[in-house]
Structure 1
Amino acid sequence: MKRVFWLIIPLIVALIFSPQKQNNTCKSYLSYFNIFFSSDCYHNPDQDDDILGIIQRHVGVHETHEVQTDDGYFLTLFRIPRQNPRGVIFFQHPLTTDARVWVGQYNESVAFLFWRAGYDVWLGNIRGSHCCKKHVSLDPTEAAFWNFSFHEIGYYDNHASIEYVKQQTGGSKIIYLGYSLGGTSGMVYASTRDKEAVDSVKMMVVITPTTHLQLSCTSLLKYLLFISYNLQGVVSLADPLFVFNRQDAWYAKMGRFLVTHFPCKKCMLYFSYLFVGFPEDAFEPDLINMFVRVHMSEYPLKMLYHYYQMYVVDGIFQRYDYGEEGNLLQYGTKEPTSYLLENIKVPVYIVSGANDNLDCPNAIEKLYNLLPKNSTAHGKLMVEGFNHLDYAYGRYRNEKVYFKILQLLDKIHLDDQNCLH
C-alpha cells in the first residue's frame, strides 16, 4: 500500500505544478509510472494538436474540403496534395475515430507514408465524427441526426466523398482504402452502387472489413452488445440521443483524463485485447496516449446494433433489421435484405489479421469466397500475429501491411503502363 502511495503522489504533484508542455509520451510502458520525471519520456506536440496541425508539422501542405451528401449531411475531407501524383487514394477510417487515425503515428503515419510514395492523399470523415456535425436541417442535439448505421456511411457518405474527390482530381479513378468500418462501408458502397463504383474506383483495399461477424469470433464485444441490445429501453432513458462516447458528457471527459494519465498502460491494453485479439507484436508504447486521444469520436448505438445483428444471424451481411413491420416499410419484405456482394465488379484486396478475434479469420474467408472471382484476382493478405488494432499501432504495421499494399499498387500501376504501350 505504501509503495502505491509513493507512486501516486509524484503524479498528482506533477499534474498540478508541471509546466504547460508536460511529458505525454514514453518509449517504454514502465516509464509511464514516472512519466513527468523519466528521461525516457518527452512531450510530443502531435497529441495536443488537430489533424491540420499534425499534417503541417510533418508535411507542410494540406487542404480542407466540404461535401454535402444526398441526405443532407456535410462532410469534411482533408487532402495532402501531390503534384503529378502516382495515383489518388482515399482513406476511410474505423469506428470510434475519424481521419486522425491516419496521421496518429507521428512522422511514420500511414497518410504520410502514401504521400511520400507519390500519392495524392485524401482523408475522409463520416457523419457524426469530430468535424462532421453539420446537416441542412438537423442538429446534433436531435436524435434524428444520429439515426444512421454503416449502410448510410457506405451509400451516402462514401458516394459523396468519392465523387467529389474524382471531380477535384480530374475525373481519374481513385484507390479506396478502408479500415474496419471503412471496409464495411466500402463493401456497402461497391455492392449497392456497383455501376458507379466501376466508373469511379480503380481498386478497393479493405482492412479487416467486419462484414460477416460470426458467433465463433471470440471478441468480448459481442457479449456487451447482447446486453446493450436487449436493454435498449434502459439505455435510451440514460441517453435519449442514443449516442455513444459523447464528447461533451462529463463521464467521457473524466474517462479520457483518467485513461490518459493511468500509469499501467499494459493493463489498459490487455483489457482492449479482450475485444480485438491478443497480438504477437507489441502495441508501440509511444503511441498509447495518442491512441486514447484519437479513438474518442462519437457514433450512434444504432451502428453497434447493426454489427450485433450480424452476430445474431451468424455472419450474414445484411441491412439493418427493424423488425417485421419496420422491414416491410423499409424494404418491402419481412426480413432485411442482404448486400449483393456478387454485384461487386471493382478489384478488392482484403487484409486481415490471424489474431483478430473481432473480425476473425473465418469471417474474412467467408467474405472472400462470396466475392466474384474477378474482383479477388489480386488475392488477399493474412498477417500473422496481427489483431484488429495493429494496422494503426502495431510495431510492424508498415513493414507487414502498408509496404506490401504499396508494392501491389506499384505492380498494378506498372501493368497499366505496359497496357498503354
Structure 2
Amino acid sequence: MKVYLILLLVVIPIITGGPIFRKSSVTTQKLVEKHGYSFEEHSVQTSDGYILGLHRIPYSPKVQSDEPRPIAFLMHGLLCSSSDWVIPGPENGLAFVLSDAGYDVWMGNARGNTYSREHASYNPFFKKFWSFDWHEIGLYDLSAMMDYVLYYTDEEQLTYFGHSQGTTTFLVLNSLNLRFNSKIKSAHLMAPVAFMENMEGPLTDIAALLFGQPNIWPELFGDMEFLPNTKLMELLGLTACRESSPIQFFCSNIMFLFTGFDYENLNTTLLPDILATTPAGASVNQITHYLQENNSGYFRQFDYGFLRNPFAYGSTKPPEYPIEEIDVPIFLYYSDNDYLSSVVDVHRLMRTLKETTLRRAYRVQHPKWNHLDHIWGMNIKEYLHDAIMEDLESMKNS
C-alpha cells in the first residue's frame, strides 16, 4: 500500500512535471484575448519570497467610458488558477461579466500554481519551496496581491470574489490581519469552505483517515507538489474529454466524485480547456490541512501533531481562526449538492460570523448545483450571477 501511495503522490507528479510533459499551451491570457478583451500580467513578491502571477482585465470592449472603475479582485480555488474565471467565456465567466459591468478586474494566483512557480531563493524542484498550505496563501499571498492592486490603481478599496479555497484564504487573512477589513468594500464567497466536518463524497472518509492524520502524513509527504499542470493534461482533454470522445463521461465522473454529481449543468464543451488548465498545482499540505478540518470539526491552523504543535503554537492544539472578528460585509453563495461545502457547515459559518457582517446567504435554487457549478455551471447567470449582481447593486447604496 505504501509503495502505491509513493508512486501516486511522488513519482507521477515529478514525471508529469518534467520537461517531456511541459506546461499546457492554454493560458489565461489566450482565453481572455481570444474574446477581444485587454489583458495585463503583473508580478508580486510576497514577504516570504514567493513571486506570484497577477492577471488583469483593465476594461471591457463593451464599455466605453473614461470614468474610474471599481476594482474586482477574484481568487481561485484549490488546484486551480485565474483561468477558472474566464474558461466559460464572456457570457458565463465571472471575470468577463464583471468587466462588462464596468469593473477593473484583477485575478490572483496562489503560490505553487501554474503562474506562481518562482521564489526569490528556492526552486520548485526542492522541498523547501512546497513548505506551505492555504494558511500562508491567505496570510501572505492575498495580502501582497491586494496591497499591490490598491497601490497600482491608487484606490482605497476593492470588492473581493472567492471560490472554494479562495473563500478559505479570505477568512484566514481577514481574521488574523484586521487592517484589511477596511480595504475590502464587500466579499462575495462562492462555495465557502471553513468548517468541513460534514464534507461528503465517496472518497472523503478514506482520504481523511489516510491523509488527515497530523502525526504521520505531514512528516512523510507534506512539503511536496501535488498535481502540477502539464501538457499531458491538455492532450488528455483534447482526446478523451472532447465532445466527440466515446469516453468523455469518464472526465465528468472523476470531477463529480469530489464535487457532487450534476450532469444537467455541466457544459461538456468546456472540458478540454478545464483539463488543459486544471489541476494547476498545489502543495500536498493544502490537501492535508483540509482533511484535518474534516477530522477535527474545527476551522483552525495546520495541525503538526502533539510533538511539534508546542513549538509552533505554544500549545498541543493549533489555534482556531477568529472569524467572528471579521468586519467586512460578506455575501455567501452555497448549494445543496456541494460535497466540499455542505449546507450544515455553511450554516455553522453563518452563525459564527457577526450578524452585522453577514449581509446575505444565498442558497442556489437548483437541487443538483455542485461545487464547480459556481464557476463553470451552464446556467450560471440564472442561478448565481444575477444574485451576485443584485448584491453588488445593494452595496452601492450602503
TM-score (norm 2): 0.85
Equivalent residue number for residue 33 of structure 2: 56
SS of the residue corresponding to residue 319 of structure 2 reads coil
Q: Kindly indicate whether the alpha-carbon contact (under 8 Å) linking 2:259 and 2:372 is maintained by their aligned counterparts in 1.
A: yes
130, 152, 159: which one pairs with 1:146?
130
Equivalent residue number for residue 327 of structure 2: 345
Residue 370 to residue 236, structure 1, CA distance change in 2 (3 Å) = closer
Q: Does 1:118 align with 2:102?
A: yes
Q: Does 1:170 align with 2:154?
A: yes
Q: Does 1:379 align with 2:379?
A: no
CA distance in 1, matches of 2:75, 2:125: 25
Q: Kindly indicate whether the alpha-carbon contact (under 8 Å) linking 1:176 and 1:204 is maintained by their aligned counterparts in 2.
A: yes
CA distance in 2, matches of 1:204, 1:155: 16
Residue 257 to residue 395, structure 1, CA distance change in 2 (3 Å) = closer
Equivalent residue number for residue 301 of structure 1: 284
- 1:59-110 residue CA offsets vs partner (Å, 9 max, x unmatched): 3312111111111111111111134244211000011111011111123222
316, 321, 330: which one pairs with 1:334?
316
CA distance in 2, matches of 1:396, 1:177: 19
What's the CA shift for 1:229?
4.4
Aligned CA RMSD, in angstroms, stands at 2.5
SS of the residue corresponding to residue 359 of structure 1 reads coil
Q: Kindly indicate whether the alpha-carbon contact (under 8 Å) linking 1:281 and 1:396 is maintained by their aligned counterparts in 2.
A: no
Q: Map 1:15-414 to 2 at 5 A.
A: 49-82=26-59, 83-108=66-91, 109-194=93-178, 196-215=179-198, 217-218=200-201, 220-229=203-212, 242-247=224-229, 259-260=240-241, 263-279=246-262, 281-314=264-297, 316-376=298-358, 378-383=359-364, 384-385=366-367, 386-413=369-396
- 1:361-410 residue CA offsets vs partner (Å, 9 max, x unmatched): 0011011110011101x211111331101012211112211121112112
Q: Kindly indicate whether the alpha-carbon contact (under 8 Å) linking 1:236 and 1:242 is maintained by their aligned counterparts in 2.
A: no
Q: Kindly indicate whether the alpha-carbon contact (under 8 Å) linking 2:236 and 2:275 is maintained by their aligned counterparts in 1.
A: no
SS of the residue corresponding to residue 106 of structure 1 reads coil
SS of the residue corresponding to residue 58 of structure 1 reads coil
Matched AA of 2:167: G
SS of the residue corresponding to residue 366 of structure 1 reads helix
Q: Kindly indicate whether the alpha-carbon contact (under 8 Å) linking 2:223 and 2:284 is maintained by their aligned counterparts in 1.
A: no
CA distance in 1, matches of 2:206, 2:68: 46
Matched AA of 1:352: Y
Higher helix residue share: 1
SS of the residue corresponding to residue 266 of structure 1 reads helix
Deviates more, 1:209-218 or 1:102-111: 209-218
Q: Kindly indicate whether the alpha-carbon contact (under 8 Å) linking 1:86 and 1:119 is maintained by their aligned counterparts in 2.
A: yes
Deviates more, 1:400-409 or 1:140-149: 400-409
CA distance in 2, matches of 1:178, 1:222: 26
What's the CA shift for 1:152?
0.4
- 1:167-188 residue CA offsets vs partner (Å, 9 max, x unmatched): 1121321001010010110110
Identity %: 27
Matched AA of 2:34: R
Residue 104 to residue 257, structure 1, CA distance change in 2 (3 Å) = closer
Equivalent residue number for residue 14 of structure 1: none
CA distance in 2, matches of 1:267, 1:64: 34
CA distance in 2, matches of 1:272, 1:360: 17
Matched AA of 1:124: G
Compare relative contact order (CA 8 Å, sep 6+) and give the higher one, 1 or 2. 2
Q: Kindly indicate whether the alpha-carbon contact (under 8 Å) linking 2:265 and 2:377 is maintained by their aligned counterparts in 1.
A: yes
CA distance in 2, matches of 1:264, 1:139: 38
Equivalenced residues, count: 364
Q: Tell me, which stretches of 5 or more residues in structure 2 are unaligned?
A: 1-23, 60-65
What's the CA shift for 1:219?
5.2
Q: Kindly indicate whether the alpha-carbon contact (under 8 Å) linking 1:278 and 1:355 is maintained by their aligned counterparts in 2.
A: yes
CA distance in 2, matches of 1:214, 1:290: 32
What's the CA shift for 1:411?
2.1
Q: Kindly indicate whether the alpha-carbon contact (under 8 Å) linking 2:76 and 2:164 is maintained by their aligned counterparts in 1.
A: yes
CA distance in 2, matches of 1:319, 1:249: 34
- 1:11-31 residue CA offsets vs partner (Å, 9 max, x unmatched): xxxxxxxxxxxxxxxxxxxxx
CA distance in 1, matches of 2:116, 2:389: 30
- 1:239-292 residue CA offsets vs partner (Å, 9 max, x unmatched): 796221134698x68866764465322243234222111237320121122221
CA distance in 1, matches of 2:106, 2:222: 35
CA distance in 1, matches of 2:287, 2:211: 10
Residue 288 to residue 407, structure 1, CA distance change in 2 (3 Å) = same
- 1:6-47 residue CA offsets vs partner (Å, 9 max, x unmatched): xxxxxxxxxxxxxxxxxxxxxxxxxxxxxxxxxxxxxxxxx9
Residue 63 to residue 249, structure 1, CA distance change in 2 (3 Å) = closer
